[in-house]
Amino acid sequence: AEFAIHFREGRRSTPDRSSRLSEHAHKDSDRGGAHGAETPFGHAPAVGSAIAQKTLVSSKRRKVGANVSDDGEHGSEIHSECDSHFIVHLFVTAIAEGKLEQSSVIPKTWDVLQQVITKVSKEQNTTVSVRGSTMDIKMRVFVCNSVEARAVGEYVTAHPDQRPAPFVVLARQLSMAIAYNSKSLDPTQAAVADRLRKQAKTRAVKEIREVIRDAQTEITCPILRGHAGALAPARLIEEHLLGRTVKEDLEGDGARNYIFFNAKNRSNSKDELSSSHDHHHEDVAPVSSSRRRSPPVPSSVLHH
């Protein structure tokens, strides 16, 4: 599969242009069909998170479960006890070495970007193995339709040539399918949905770290620090991520790939009950064709 990246052409961003980028993003999301089944991995718009519209038959659950390697003692749950999936679409970034250019950012977006840089959760402040050496990295994992994802996406779109970039994109849209037992978990409850989203983010960090470790000949420390531009890491990482996914139709899109894993049913866990900082403000409901869809990298960072 190819992971072509297409930018809008234009001069350096101005505050007015940033606003137009946001408007264009919402227009794209309203069209719904603008990104169809042929859309490459990482481009398709998606709601931030939702209960899967479709369920897998038992035989398909067994097939998917055989391809899922989970840590711990619950690895077989996906085909024995879990009967539903909670979908979370993630935009995975990391803080790089560049400086934000404040003159081209509207004040509200600037405030959000400052929070992105300064507020890094403990599990996302991690290390990666790059060509045998250990590198500290501050990952920032957002639900695709969150305020933070939109702000970072707009900045990256408006500054495609900035080097070093202040952010690097590690995965433009990483779709996670969390298998759970509907008799014991109810994602329509906000606390449960928050906990599942947090589990998805933790799993995304694990997957990205392993991909970077395994892609030793391609990924370098300067690339991860933004010296090749904001989207250079995504070009390399997404292709390796694809090999960790399974293509299933859970949301009416048969071409979408997911990383499947099992929910940890620990409702009394202090860490998992803590909500994320993403301001996605969404109701959790089954996905339907009539539901408004939001772009994964808002402002259509990746343009067709």
273 pLDDT above the threshold of 50:
no
Determine, yes or no, domain membership for 292: no
Sequence-separated (6 or more) residues with CB below 8 Å from residue 278: 48, 142, 143, 146, 147, 148, 149, 197
Query: What is the predicted pLDDT for the residue at 196?
Result: 94
Determine, yes or no, domain membership for 291: no
Closest Cα partner for 263 from 53, 80, 86?
Answer: 86
Query: What is the predicted pLDDT for the residue at 210?
Result: 93
Average pLDDT, rounded, for the chain:
71
Range of the domain at 156: 16-29+43-273
Q: Which residue has the tokens 């977006």?
A: 109
- 167-180 and 257-262 strand pairing: parallel
Query: What is the predicted pLDDT for the residue at 298?
Result: 42
Query: What is the predicted pLDDT for the residue at 64?
Result: 56
Q: What is d(CA 56, CA 68) in angstroms, rounded to the nearest whole number?
A: 15
What whole-number percentage of the chain has pLDDT above 70? Answer: 61
Determine, yes or no, domain membership for 157: yes
Closest Cα partner for 90 from 263, 269, 258?
Answer: 258
Q: What is d(CA 205, CA 120) in angstroms, rounded to the nearest whole number?
A: 13
Asked which of 86-95, 213-222, 268-277 is least confident by mean pLDDT, the reply is 268-277
Q: How many domains does the chain have?
A: 1
Q: What is the pLDDT of residues 15-53, one digit of tens each?
A: 333 333 333 333 333 333 333 333 233 344 445 666 776
Query: What is the predicted pLDDT for the residue at 58?
Result: 54
Question: Global pTM?
Answer: 0.70
Determine, yes or no, domain membership for 303: no
Query: Which two tokens mark 31?
Result: 């069209």
Determine, yes or no, domain membership for 123: yes
182 pLDDT above the threshold of 50:
yes
Asked which of 63-67, 99-103, 226-230, 239-243 is least confident by mean pLDDT, the reply is 63-67
Query: What is the predicted pLDDT for the residue at 252?
Result: 78
Determine, yes or no, domain membership for 266: yes
10 pLDDT above the threshold of 90:
no
Q: What is the pLDDT of residues 200-212, one digit of tens each?
A: 999 999 999 999 9
Determine, yes or no, domain membership for 21: yes
Asked which of 38-42, 87-91, 107-111, 265-269 is least confident by mean pLDDT, the reply is 38-42
Determine, yes or no, domain membership for 256: yes
- Confidence at 131, pLDDT banded by 50, 70, 90: confident
Per-position DSSP letters for 124-179, written without gaps between them: GEEEEEETTEEEEEEEEEEETTSHHHHHHHHHHHH-TT-SS-SEEEEEEEEEEEEE
Amino acid at 49: S
Query: What is the predicted pLDDT for the residue at 83?
Result: 82
Higher pLDDT, 67 or 111: 111
What whole-number percentage of the chain has pLDDT above 90? Answer: 37
Query: What is the predicted pLDDT for the residue at 249?
Result: 82
176 pLDDT above the threshold of 70:
yes
Q: What is the pLDDT of residues 44-82, one digit of tens each?
A: 444 566 677 666 655 555 555 545 545 443 333 344 578
